[in-house]
Amino acid sequence: MTMKGFLRLVAVILLVLLSGCTSKLTPVNTFTLSTTNTSNTPGLSSLGNHGTISGTVVDSLGAPLSQATERIQATTNQTLTADDGSFILSGLEDGVAITVSAWKEGYYCAKYESAKPPVVGIILKMRQVQTTDNANYEWIAPIGDGSCYSCKPGVTQVWLDNDAHGKSATNIRFLSMYNGTDVNGNQSPLTQYGNSPDYGAVPLLPDLSQPYYGPGYKLNFPNTAGNCAACHLPGAAIDAPYDTDPNTAEGVDTFGIHCDYCHKVADVKLDPATNLPFPNMPGVLSQIILRPFSEDKDRYQIFFGSFDDDNVPMEDTYLPLIKESSWCAPCHYGVFWNTVIYNSYGEWLESPYSDPVSGKTCQQCHMATPTLLNGETITNVAPGKGGVERDPKTIPAHTFQGASNLELLQNAVEMDVTTSRSSNRITVTVTLVNDKTGHDVPTDSPLRQMILLVRVDDTNGNPLDQVEGFRIPISGGVGEPVEGYYSGWPGKIFSKVLSEIWTEITPTGAYWNPVRVISDNRLKALESDTSTYLFKSPQDGNLSVNVKLLYRRAFIELMDQKGWKVPDIVMEEKQIDIH
């Protein structure tokens, strides 16, 4: 054979060999793939298994994991592994590359990319998440280099634009209450104490002959920090919950309850007898936080999130708790001096909304999907950074709509107004129904008020005299109604009223002192309130009835002391003309 003939023969042999080769798929946290029968999947082959992918899920030592969730990423096509760790996903299109994900509680997510059905023998290897916390971990800032914004700009921007949690450390109302100052930094005199033969030192009433800018924790306890930071800046307080002064916040801690902190919450500590946090254990004191170990190649980062098919399996895992109301409990239930101060979680727990079948979670209302940024729907959490296109209904909005959200407040309750007129009387009946809110209205901070105002004007626009019915109490403010001082006006205030035990200051927001609940007439979930107002009416002439429901951040005396310029929000308003 000539040299040319020999080379031709070699070329033919190489072509035959190469034609039998198959391309390899790219696994992540996985190994072993076959499109034919293998020892991992006995009895299966690509022939006769069109539109399927099968395989096994194992731990880092190769032991099979049962009840792990397998999913075609970003779809609802999912299954659970059998006792031997095996699974089959079907209903797929042959030859179309997809990503298979796996998750099991206590493990990081895992995935297998570019699998083209039919495929047999995929093995997804899962790593356990850490079970200990690293106190030396440095929090990741929401913005800046290497920040949350770097990978998830859209979701982070929505959070920055809307969420009060991110401002909890710098909120001027919080800081002025903590420090006993007004918004300009003027501080009230320190609290003076008298002596009780039975109880020792007790606080005295403030001396109002001196400039007074309202109460403050630091006025009563100037040499301690308290546990306010446990809720308002928990990332800073995690290692010193009773010794973190909010005034010292800097860097990432100025973002209060920031992204990295929330996504490190692994569990919450609740009393099994009540399903509530334990008394005097607010915020971080009732949370289990797992900060990662940067030097550990297998556990250098961890983010607990809402996807069980996350695209960064080296760092992310799914936490079912993050979709449950109990996740919110530590900062939305507070007991101090044996008095329940705020309790939106407990109110939800007692309401029909807590029913696991027919109810709603906190997240479904306060993080309602879809997520909108500048009017556009977000469908990819981390575009260009490993994120995938998802159903927008699976991406919770990080708006955390709350007490400053107009739309939320105007959809909180329903108001119905009826009128009747006799020869010299007009009757106005107002019914309020808490038909859309899963807790009391208003809720949490006892400073908050919902104010119902009823007014009837004659033809000349003059208000008619009230004959019977409720009137606004003194906490509505003494002064001109046009300036928001409604004491004595026809109507009601719905609020939880606290009174300080020693000074008897009522109402008060100084619940760092011993207080008691004087009254609580807030509207509970799905309950109603009906009130009737009788006015002296002229024999004839047109009348105008105006009924307005306002939301007020705090009772007006305190707002004046602190210099809080927060306008009331109109929740409902009805105008009825009577001819």
**Helix (H), strand (E) at residue 468:** strand 466-468
Q: What is the pLDDT of residues 66-123, one digit of tens each?
A: 999 999 999 999 999 999 999 999 999 999 999 999 999 999 999 999 999 999 999 9
The mean-pLDDT minimum among 102-106, 140-144, 539-543 falls in 539-543
The answer on 476 and 370 residing in a single domain is no
Q: What is the CATH number of the domain that holds 520?
A: 2.60.40.3880
Domain containing 563: what range? 406-578
Cα angle, residue 380 at apex, residues 376 and 384 outer, rounded to 5°:
115
Mean of pLDDT values over 481-488: 97
- 3: pLDDT strictly greater than 70: no
- 457: pLDDT strictly greater than 60: yes
Q: What is the CATH number of the domain that holds 77?
A: 2.60.40.1120
C-alpha–C-alpha distance, residues 396 and 398, integer Å: 6
Q: How confident is the model at residue 22 (pLDDT cuts 50, 70, 90)?
A: very low
Contacts (Cβ under 8 Å, ≥6 apart) of 48: none
Residue 37 lies in a domain: yes
**Helix (H), strand (E) at residue 9:** helix 3-19
Contacts (Cβ under 8 Å, ≥6 apart) of 570: 410, 548, 549, 550
C-alpha–C-alpha distance, residues 312 and 302, integer Å: 10
β-pairing, 119-126 with 53-59?
parallel
The answer on 275 and 322 residing in a single domain is yes
Residue 7 lies in a domain: no
Which tokens go with 357? 């079948």
Strand partners, 7: none
- Asked whether 316 and 303 are in contact (CB, 8 A), the reply is yes
Residue 219 lies in a domain: no
What is the structure's pLDDT at 423?
82
The answer on 387 and 303 residing in a single domain is yes
The answer on 432 and 350 residing in a single domain is no
Mean of pLDDT values over 381-397: 95
Which tokens go with 252? 């990432």
The answer on 382 and 280 residing in a single domain is yes
Q: How confident is the model at residue 49 (pLDDT cuts 50, 70, 90)?
A: confident
The answer on 441 and 329 residing in a single domain is no
- Asked whether 513 and 502 are in contact (CB, 8 A), the reply is yes
Total number of residues shown for the chain: 579
What is the structure's pLDDT at 43?
32
β-pairing, 193-196 with 200-203?
antiparallel
Mean of pLDDT values over 372-385: 96
Q: What is the pLDDT of residues 308-354, one digit of tens each?
A: 998 888 899 999 999 999 999 999 999 999 999 999 999 999 999 99
The answer on 555 and 482 residing in a single domain is yes
Residue 400 lies in a domain: no
The mean-pLDDT minimum among 39-53, 297-311, 441-455 falls in 39-53
The answer on 298 and 155 residing in a single domain is yes
β-pairing, 265-268 with 287-289?
antiparallel
Dihedral, CA atoms, 62, 68, 73, 75, nearest 10 degrees? 160
The answer on 443 and 364 residing in a single domain is no
Residue 238 lies in a domain: no
Indicate the residue among 372, 394, 416 that finishes a domain.
Answer: 394
- 13: pLDDT strictly greater than 80: no
The answer on 565 and 444 residing in a single domain is yes
Which tokens go with 339? 């008095």
Q: What is the pLDDT of residues 152-188, one digit of tens each?
A: 999 999 999 999 999 999 999 999 999 999 999 999 9
Residue 324 lies in a domain: yes
DSSP 561: H
Question: 0.85 exceeded by the pTM?
Answer: yes
More confident residue, 25 or 62: 62
C-alpha–C-alpha distance, residues 267 and 274, integer Å: 17
Share of the chain above pLDDT 90, in %: 88
What is the structure's pLDDT at 48?
53
Domain tally, the chain: 3
Q: Return mean pLDDT, the chain.
A: 91
The answer on 348 and 427 residing in a single domain is no
Residue 514 lies in a domain: yes
Indicate the residue among 394, 429, 449 that finishes a domain.
Answer: 394
Residue 188 lies in a domain: no
The answer on 465 and 496 residing in a single domain is yes
